[in-house]
Every structure is written in C-alpha cells, then in structure tokens.
C-alpha cells in the first residue's frame, strides 16, 4: 500500500464523515469517481487536487457529507 492509498483512505473518511459506516463508503465513492475522471483529464495534478479536497473538507465540512445531510434533514 503506497502513501497515496493511505492518504486517499484518510480523505474517504474525512469527506464522507466520521462515526458512521456509510460515511467513508460515500467518501470512497466520491473520491474514486473524481480520481477516475481527474487522472484521465489532468493526471499530473491529481495529488494537488486530493490535497485541496482534504483542505476544503476540513475547513468547510468538518463532519463530512453525512454531517451535512443530517444537518439539512433536521432543518
């Protein structure tokens, strides 16, 4: 397992949302979908995009996509 795979796994959890089983699965689907498109269109920039995605998720979605969906459902 390369460092890139470990970084991707951490981003799956951060993007999807910690504390649930479905969150990281959703994060994995989003990241792998983005990876499939991005590595074809801009292969040399994938790692930069991955880092940017992690920073943006950390700043704007601290509970991940699942946290965002839960918040919208309760509002």
Q: How is 13-48 classified by DSSP, letter by letter? A: HHHH-TTSSHHHHHHHHHHHHHHHHHHHH-GGGHHH
What would the two tokens of residue 16 be?
Answer: 């999807």
The pLDDT of residue 75 is: 76
Task: In whole angstroms, give the CA distance from residue 21 to residue 49.
Answer: 25
The answer to whether the beta carbons of residues 57 and 47 sit under 8 Å apart is no
Give this prediction's pTM: 0.82
> pLDDT below 50 — which residues of the chain?
none
Tell me the C-alpha to C-alpha distance, in Å, between residue 1 and each of 9, 25, 41, 61, 63. 11, 19, 24, 27, 27
The pLDDT of residue 1 is: 60
């Amino acid at each position: 397992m390369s460092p890139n795979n470990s970084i991707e796994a951490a981003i799956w959890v951060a993007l999807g949302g910690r504390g649930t089983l479905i969150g990281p699965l959703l994060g994995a689907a989003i990241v792998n979908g983005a990876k499939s498109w991005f590595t074809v269109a801009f292969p040399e920039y994938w790692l930069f995009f991955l880092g940017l995605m992690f920073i943006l998720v950390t700043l704007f979605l601290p509970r991940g996509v699942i946290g965002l969906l839960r918040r919208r459902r309760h509002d």
